[in-house]
Each structure stands twice: as C-alpha cells, then as structure tokens.
Chains A and B, each alone.
Chain A
Amino acid sequence: MTPKNNEGAAAGVARLELKGITKQFPGVLANDHVSLKVMPGEIHALLGENGAGKSTLVKMIYGIMQPDAGSFTWNGAPCVMSNPKAARKLGIGMVFQHFSLFEAMTVLENIALGLDAAIPQRELEAEILRVLDSYGLKLDPQRIVSTLSVGERQRIEIVRALLLKPKLLIMDEPTSVLTPQEAEQLFETLRKLAADGCSILYISHKLHEIVALCETATILRGGKMVATCDPRQMTSRAMAELMIGANLKEVSKAPSRSFGAAKFTVADLSLAKLGDFGVALRHISFTVRAGEIFGIAGVAGNGQNELLDALSGERTSTSAETISLQGKAIGKLHPSQRRLAGLCAVPEERNGHAAVSEFSLTDNAVLTARQSQNLTSNGLVNSGKATSFAAQVIQSFAVKARGPSSTAGSLSGGNLQKFIMGREILQAPGVLIVSQPTWGVDAGAATAIRQAIVDLAAKGSAIVVISQDLDELLGLCDTLAVINLGQLSKVMKVGEVSIEEIGLLMGGVHGDPAATVHMTEAMHAHTV
C-alpha cells in the first residue's frame, strides 16, 4: 500500500494477467479460454450470472483449484498459483462470499489462522488494531465470532486480507449481506485501498454497485468471456443483457393495483429466542390484504428466520389469535394444518429446509403438496399423481431438470428455487410466505420467480416476502416494513419511502446511529 507496491505501474504492466484460462469439470466447461488484465490500483469487476464461472475463475487465481490450460502473469512475470499460500505470498488476498470463519473461535484466532507466519498474539492484536484504525473499521479482536453480526464477520475477512498488505484483493459478492450504509462504508475502504495502489477484483451481480465502484468490468457467460467494458460508460440494463445473453425481461406488474379485504393478519406476535444466538420476536403486527405483496426488509440475523418459523407453524404461538387467516385464528396450528388452511411457506434455505436434497423432485413435491393435491390416500403415496404434479411444476416453471426423478440436490440453486416456488404456487395458496426468494439465483430465474409471485398476487393471494435484497423488495412489493432485532418497523408504502430511510431502519433504532450502536452492543453483551 506504499508506492513501492506499484512496481510496473509506470510501464503499463498489468498486476495480474490471465491468458486462456480453461477449467473443465465433469459435464461442464466452467471456464473457456478466459483472459483478463487487472492493472495496479484498478477496481476491476467480474460480472456474471450464477454458474457463469466467476467463482471457479477466482478460485484458480487464489490457488484453490488449478486450471487445465492457460497461464497467469504477475507483474509481468509468469507464475503458477499452486495453492492459496503461494497466492498470498505473491500478494493476493481474498474475501470469500461465504465467510471461511471458525464460529467457536475469537476474531484474533480467526485472523491468526489466515496468516502464514506465526505472530505472537499480542503483536498480532496490535497490528489488527492498527489496520482497523487506518481504515476506520470497528471490530473487537477478543470477541467470539458466533456473537458477531454479518457485517462484522466480513470485516474479519477484510482485516485478515489487509494484514498481508495485498497487492490484489479479490472480493466475492461482498455486499450481499450488508445494509446500504455498510456497503457504502465498504466502498470507501475499497476506494482508499485502490488509491494506495492495491488492485481489486470485485465480483458481484449488483450492477449499480459496479457502476459506482469499478473502472473496468469483465463479463462472463457460460464460462466464456463475453465482454470487457467500462461500466461507467454503460447502462446497467446493457450489462445485464450481456450477462444473460438475451434481452432482460422485466417483471410486469399492473400499474394500479387494488387490494381486497384483509386476508392475513399478525397481531402482537412475540416469541422467546431459541438458544444463545437466536433472536426474540417482539410485538410484531401487520396485515396483508388480498392481492397485496408485503415486503420485510432487514439485515440477516434480525429475526427473519424466527419470523418465518412462526408464520409457517414450525414454531407455534402461545395464543391462537396472534396469527389469523381470513378471520380464522391459526396461531396454534402446525405447518401441515396451516397448509390445509391455505398458508404455504418457502424458507430461505433451499437444501435441507425447503427440500430434501437426496430426495427426488417427486418425493419433495409430496412433502408439502400431499394434502392440497391429494397425492396420498390411506397413508400410501399415489406415485402416478405425485409424478405428474412434479412434472407439471417442472413444466410450468421451466425448471431445468432431467425429470421428476432427478434428486433435488442435482439441480442448480436457481432451478431448485424455481421448483420449490412452483410447488407452492401451483397449490394456489391463499397466503404465501417466502424468504429470500431469489437468493443466489441468476437474473433470468430471479425474474421468472418474481413474475410468478406477482401473478399469484393478481389472483388474490396475500403474499409476504422476506428479503435482504432491497432492490427486489422495492421492485416487487406494494407495502414494506423493516425488521431489526426482532422488531418490525411501521408499515410503509413502496414509492413513498427512500432507500436511505429503509437503510437507517435496517441499521437500527429509527434513524439514530448512536442509539443503534448502543443497542447492538447491549444485545451482544447479553448474548456473550
């Protein structure tokens, strides 16, 4: 991060150059002759849908995998990234999308693990505090990771990478878990790093971020490089179309929508927290009318999972009246009973919660649709009926699968999500609760899923969408509230509310950052 790091900059030599990188997996060509150049001090975007080969490419740069063909050049000299240690030695740091953290250990221990040299704990702590200070980041090295927020966890990864004084920092979808304010703070850090001469390879599918941050973008599609461009000179739409290789369909939603009577009401729902790291739900109330899409925004870990469990019936309420569906109190009903009453739910976790990955799509269909579609009789599964229902889901939602007998685990994330959404939507539920409907799903599939939600609402269902993706909520929902530390904000009309306002609510105590910090600390003190 001193001018010394800029070796070769004057001569116009790229910090990192990839030539013809190719990687073959059984059945998939993950990277097909990808070439790109990252200049010193440049913030370079790597864009692409899920499965476009971005992760594979950066794993090869970081030495986790080896390419089948192609070569790397570092500051003009050929090099081989035989393992992450070798990559770090060159000065490559990486912040993973799914943090590679050790939950039961302290921040300090986590950082020590990421370093190749053994540094005495006290010196390391001083060094960490110095890095935190120079980039204006806040983190306590002695805290146990499992007590930290997602933003704080990301900071561990960033500090870990920065301690190595990297010359190239790879950021894999870093903002997917941050509030807009946290993301802006991260951008500041990255800009400062770039100004100091560190190159940054920034992976994201959020186009507005790339426009705001990056100088160059390389776009991948199906493992091939389709374009290199300057994102500041292009529209988000044009880049999105390059990514998916077709014209981007937008969700079509009737401009003026009218809502029916109140269909789904939650009244003063409170639920104690489970375990040390759970979140208690506190006095949650909202009403969703027929045809209305109600969004719940918030940073992960603020009670979204607890709320979904409470609404779906996985955790029953102490009083039946807290949740009602068309006037019928269902707070004490179990998931199957609620499903019979017309409430379907799609949890965030696809594998293991919404679907059993080892089961076939048919069996997975039976698990939630057996009652509404009469897929069982006298305790026996009607396999013909179940298979045709699964086939119907696959067909109407354009799920890419070999057939109803494919296992859920064999589908890509986006396709499995389409199947799960389709399974619930075809049951025509009166109320649909979905959490993170398009998490980790590519742009094409995301549009299809959102369209299906809008279409279901148009038929008169009441829909609750829990999501961390603000753009999604603003594009999809009619009304919106923010969940923070288990409490729900007032309900706002989309179109009458600004992103800043929502961001502040996501960050905490109704627009007061100091109070937010105070409250978060109090919560942590309580959980430790």
Chain B
Amino acid sequence: MSMDLIISALVTTIGITTPILLAATGELVVEKSGVLNLGVEGMMLVGAVTGFAVAFTTFNPWLGILAAAAAGAASALVFGVLVLTFGANQVATGLALAIFGIGLSTLIGAGFVGMIVPPFTSIFPEELARDPFWRLIFGHSPIVYLALIMVMVVAWFLKSTRWGLVLRAVGENDLSAHSIGYSVIGIRYAAIAFGGAMAGIAGSYFSLVITPMWAEQMTAGRGWIALALVVFASWKPGRLLTGAYFFGVLMTLELYAKASGFSFLPSQFWASMPYLMAVLVLALISARERTGSEAPACLGKPFMPGE
C-alpha cells in the first residue's frame, strides 16, 4: 500500500514537473541569448488553449501539441518584433505578453469550456506499464519524455555545438558578436521562437494531459515558477533539471498534504511552500555567489549596434 503511495506520488511529481521543465528549458535558451521574456505564463496559456482546440476539432492530440508549439512560438514572435525590431523594453513587453496571453486564451477558450479531448495513447506497449514499478518509467505521456530529452538536447546544444557557442556569445556580448559578423537579431528571434514553442507545449500539457479539458488560467502561475527556475538554475541545464524536480516535489507534497489529512498546518502554507523555497534558495545562491554572477551579461539589454 505504502509502496503504491510512493509510486503514485512519484508519478504525480513527474507530471507536475514536466510543464515547468519544458517552459524553463525554452526560457533558458531565450535568456542565454540575452533576452528576458517574462511572458512565459501567457505563452503557456495560448499554447494550452490552441492545443486543446486543435486536438478537439481533429481528435488528434499530436496535432494539438504541434499547434500548441506553433501558437506559443507565434505569440513569442509578437514579443520578438516589439523588443528586437522596435527596441521596446523587454520587461514591460514581457509582462504585457503574459497579460495578453491570459486574456486571449480566455477569449478563445470560451467556446470549449466543459469539452473533453481524446487522451494520448502510450508510446510504449501497454504491458510494460502494467506493473506499478515499470509504470514509473513507461507509463507517462509522450510529453514527459519530450521534456527530458529537450533538457539534454539543450545542454548538448549549448555546450558542444557551434551554434550553441554563438548563442551564448550573443547573450554574453552582443556588440562583439555583431562585430565578428553574427546576426544578433536573427539568433535572438530564433531563440525567442524556440522559447515560445516550448512554453506552448508546456501549456498544452495542462489541457491535453493533466486534465484533458480547458479551464481559464489553468496553468495556475507555473509560468512564473519556470522563470524563477531559470535563475535558480544559474542558467545551467543540469541544475535546471534538478531544480524543476525540487519544485515538483514541493508541489506534490502540497497535494498529498491536503488529500491525506496530513494538514497540521493550514493548506495555504503548503501551497506557498514552492514560492517560499524559491525565495530562500535564490537568496542563498546570491549570498554565495555575491560576485561573478552567472547571468548572461547582456540579459534584458536592448541590442543597439552602430557607433
């Protein structure tokens, strides 16, 4: 019984962690290129509602994911045009994108409230997931595996590929990268689009997997946690993975504490735990790394070539 409980808690943890991990992986790439896109929450919601709408109309959740990625990337590109082409303030534009995404998704989703979409079929033979222990490995939605693969791909891309090196260079010193002859704006557009696509997929995980239905603001602030997670991870993919699971465990504890009557503390306390821990850990990290910040040196600064 207790073994079952542990396994089901772990499955929940993995499920809860996946969207944060996806969105944070995308945002990590964006921030590594020197752009701060605070609109993750908005892009997730746009992805969630678009994914749901397409999966509902086509009866194909795979098309839903694709559409969610495209919608996330499209909304990110709106942000990209404003901050890269027109040089708008990144913080203000990112916040606007977050609010815009909430509004737009509510509008689009109004007609889909209460509908249900078909679930994903497992990508592994069903026999594999029958045993509870094996279920831990083989019993998840394909998006879960996608998230894990993407973290590794991004880690490899940033560390070992030439374009990863260029992307880091653009985030580290945009003027130098420009003077060497790299297209700073082009690379940042690509990074922003990637970040948007990842946020879109992360959003669709809520509407296609966690609860296969649409509800307003169903991402429930996880986009903000993804943003904090990137800082928390010091812009390192390895730490991002660990950090995402750390938050995932805290959020699962909240659910189980509420459900099991293990609530000698008010449930609000458990609900606030991830956020409190985020603040605490960030404070600890910044106290330890007082100097030599790990942040990309050009993060959030507009690129202004010329004289």
Chain A residues proximal to chain B, CB less than 8 Å? 25, 63-64, 83-85, 88, 96, 99-105, 109, 112-114, 116, 118, 274-277
A112-B165 contact, Cβ under 8 Å, with A100-B173, A100-B175, A102-B176? yes
Q: Are B172 and A102 in contact (CB under 8 A)?
A: yes
Interface string of B159-183 (1 = CB under 8 A from A): 0001001101100110111011110
- Give the number of residues in B that approach A within 8 Å (Cβ atoms): 19
Q: Is B2 an interface residue, CB under 8 A from the partner? A: no
Q: Are A109 and B176 in contact (CB under 8 A)?
A: no
Q: Are A84 and B172 in contact (CB under 8 A)?
A: no
Q: Are A274 and B291 in contact (CB under 8 A)?
A: yes
- Give the distance to chain B from A173, nearest Cβ to Cβ, in Å: 15
Q: Are A96 and B166 in contact (CB under 8 A)?
A: no
- Give the distance to chain A from B158, nearest Cβ to Cβ, in Å: 12
Complexed CA–CA distance, A207 and B208 (Å): 72
Q: Are A276 and B291 in contact (CB under 8 A)?
A: yes
Complexed CA–CA distance, A43 and B168 (Å): 36
Q: Is B261 an interface residue, CB under 8 A from the partner? A: no
Q: Knowing that A96-B179, A101-B176, A113-B180 are A-B contacts, what are 17 other residue pairs whose CB atoms are under 8 Å apart, sorted by A's residue number?
A: A63-B181, A64-B179, A83-B181, A85-B181, A88-B181, A99-B176, A100-B176, A100-B177, A101-B173, A102-B168, A102-B177, A103-B172, A103-B297, A113-B177, A114-B180, A275-B292, A277-B292
**From residue 275 to 307 of chain B, which have CB atoms closer than 8 A to chain A?**
290-292, 297, 307
**B166 proximity list for chain A (CB < 8 A):** 113
Checking B169, B175, B297 against A113 with a beta-carbon cut-off of 8 angstroms, the contacting residue is: B169
**A113 proximity list for chain B (CB < 8 A):** 165-166, 169, 177, 180, 182
A104-B172 contact, Cβ under 8 Å, with A112-B162, A113-B165? yes
- Give the distance to chain B from A97, nearest Cβ to Cβ, in Å: 11
- Give the distance to chain B from A62, nearest Cβ to Cβ, in Å: 8
Q: Are B291 and A100 in contact (CB under 8 A)?
A: no
Q: Are A100 and B172 in contact (CB under 8 A)?
A: no
**From residue 206 to 227 of chain B, which have CB atoms closer than 8 A to chain A?**
none
**A105 proximity list for chain B (CB < 8 A):** 165, 168-169, 172
**B172 proximity list for chain A (CB < 8 A):** 102-105
Complexed CA–CA distance, A274 and B290 (Å): 10
**B291 proximity list for chain A (CB < 8 A):** 274-276
Identity of the chain B residue whose Cβ is nearest the Cβ of A55 in the assembled complex: B307
Q: Are A84 and B180 in contact (CB under 8 A)?
A: yes
- Give the distance to chain A from B159, nearest Cβ to Cβ, in Å: 10
Q: Are B162 and A84 in contact (CB under 8 A)?
A: no
- Give the distance to chain A from B183, nearest Cβ to Cβ, in Å: 9
- Give the distance to chain B from A268, nearest Cβ to Cβ, in Å: 27
**B181 proximity list for chain A (CB < 8 A):** 63, 83-85, 88, 116
**B297 proximity list for chain A (CB < 8 A):** 103-104
**B169 proximity list for chain A (CB < 8 A):** 102, 105, 109, 113
**B176 proximity list for chain A (CB < 8 A):** 99-102
**A83 proximity list for chain B (CB < 8 A):** 181
- Give the distance to chain B from A412, nearest Cβ to Cβ, in Å: 11
Complexed CA–CA distance, A99 and B168 (Å): 17
Complexed CA–CA distance, A83 and B180 (Å): 9
Identity of the chain A residue whose Cβ is nearest the Cβ of B291 in the assembled complex: A275
Q: Are A103 and B179 in contact (CB under 8 A)?
A: no
Complexed CA–CA distance, A105 and B182 (Å): 17
Most B-side CB within 10 Å, residue of A88, A96, A104, A275 = A104
Q: Are B162 and A118 in contact (CB under 8 A)?
A: yes
Most B-side CB within 10 Å, residue of A63, A83, A100 = A100
Complexed CA–CA distance, A275 and B289 (Å): 10
- Give the distance to chain A from B303, nearest Cβ to Cβ, in Å: 14
Complexed CA–CA distance, A270 and B264 (Å): 56
**B168 proximity list for chain A (CB < 8 A):** 102, 105
- Give the distance to chain A from B31, nearest Cβ to Cβ, in Å: 14
- Give the distance to chain B from A406, nearest Cβ to Cβ, in Å: 18
Complexed CA–CA distance, A112 and B180 (Å): 11
Identity of the chain A residue whose Cβ is nearest the Cβ of B290 in the assembled complex: A275
**B177 proximity list for chain A (CB < 8 A):** 100, 102, 113
| 27 A-B residue pairings within 8 Å (CB atoms) | A25-B307, A63-B181, A64-B179, A84-B179, A84-B180, A85-B181, A88-B181, A99-B176, A100-B173, A100-B177, A100-B180, A101-B173, A101-B176, A102-B169, A102-B173, A103-B172, A104-B172, A105-B168, A109-B165, A113-B165, A113-B169, A113-B180, A114-B180, A116-B181, A275-B290, A275-B292, A277-B292
